[in-house]
Amino acid sequence: MSNESTLDRGIRALLALLLLAAGTVAGGALRPTLWALAGILGVTAAVGFCPLYRLLGINTRR
């Protein structure tokens, strides 16, 4: 079941790309952290479901 609106998914995808780019120029422990966050946002944007939203009872889809 999807709990993200189209706008929410688009914002997540954009943020994932930005974090991926930031991780590319970052160094040290920051790089894998930014890449992990980018991966999480990218996957949730692709599938339209956010487990954290589910736990908090949030649904941005109408």
The DSSP annotation for 1-62 comes to: -----HHHHHHHHHHHHHHHHHHHH--TTHHHHHHHHHHHHHHHHHHT--HHHHHHT-----
In a domain, 1, yes or no: no
Domain that holds residue 11: 6-56
In a domain, 62, yes or no: no
Structure tokens at 13: 């995808």
CB contact at 8 A, 58 and 44: no
pTM, two decimal places: 0.91
In a domain, 19, yes or no: yes
In a domain, 22, yes or no: yes
Q: What is residue 24's predicted lDDT score, i.e. its pLDDT?
A: 95
With a cut of 70, which residues of the chain have pLDDT below it?
none
